[in-house]
Amino acid sequence: MESFFHANFWEMILRTTLSFFVLLILARVLGKKQLGQLTFFHYITGITFGSIASEIASQTETPFLDGMISLIWWGALTYLMTIITIKSKKARVLIDDKPTIVIQNGLILESALRKNRLHMDELTMMLREQAIFSVQDVQYALLETTGRLSVLPKPTEQSATKQDVKADVTPPTYIPTEVASDGQVIYENLVELELTEDWLMKKLKKQNIQSVEDVFFAQVQANGSLYVSLKDKARRSSP
């Protein structure tokens, strides 16, 4: 028992040490990126590196040399893909994809959200993380290949604030709140704002929208106005 313990103990120490340094060398060779800069490809590659290294270090049933060859070859393939993406824009788009515009000129692009499997709750959350509570304030929003959202506010939102020009600052009437999504009224949010469906329909009709089914996203603004983004089909058919 004692000899078995010693044999396995030193074997695991050796396997773990070698795996650690090989992983360290590969990480240095492949370059450095912050976690927030990782594309999906690099994220999955990093997880696989860790999985292979842990398999080598902890599983005595895995032949050490076979595991090490697998780890090094995976690193070589990753390095090769990185070089190819640097040299070729087409390969870069194929492997890492490209940024997608999800809001353009203040309008939500429903097809872009659907393509990226992103729903409105996620989009509005990502906007709030950048201190933007109203979609109406956005000129462009791009979903980056890292999964982060880059936002260009409208010019009016980039200018001097009321505090800068010493204007009278009054508290907002509402916090920007979603009241319709994908053709359906969100009644609980209307109730919370002390508004009614009749109020919503009147606001829609003022914008020549006859049915809530044509609405992809509607949001009550801080001043009580209504921001509306139509579904792609309704937008194409509108005059």
Segment 141-184, tens digit of pLDDT: 999 887 889 898 887 766 555 555 555 556 677 878 899 988 99
| Highest-scoring range by mean pLDDT, 28-42, 93-107, 125-139, 151-165 | 125-139
* Cα 66 to Cα 158: distance, rounded to the nearest angstrom: 57
Q: What does the pLDDT average to over 43-65?
A: 76
Percent of the chain surpassing pLDDT 70: 80
Q: How confident is the model at residue 33 (pLDDT cuts 50, 70, 90)?
A: low
pLDDT of residue 1: 46
pLDDT surpassing 50 at residue 85: yes
One-letter amino acid at 71 equals: L
> What span, in angstroms and rounded, lies between the C-alpha atoms of 42 and 96?
9
pLDDT band at 214 (very low <50, low <70, confident <90, very high): very high
User: Is the per-residue pLDDT at 34 higher than 50?
Assistant: no
CA dist., res. 14 & res. 222, Å (int): 63
Res. 4 pLDDT band, cuts 50 70 90? very low
Residue 184's identity, in one-letter code, is Q
Q: Taking residues 31-57, report their average pLDDT.
A: 69
pTM of the model: 0.58
3-class secondary-structure state, position 134: coil
**Are 166 and 177 in contact, with CB atoms under 8 Å apart?**
no
Q: How confident is the model at residue 35 (pLDDT cuts 50, 70, 90)?
A: very low
Query: Picking from 3-12, 36-45, 194-203, which range would have the lowest pLDDT averaged per residue?
Result: 3-12
On the question of pLDDT at 60 being above 80, the answer is no
Give yes or no for residue 12 having a pLDDT over 60: yes
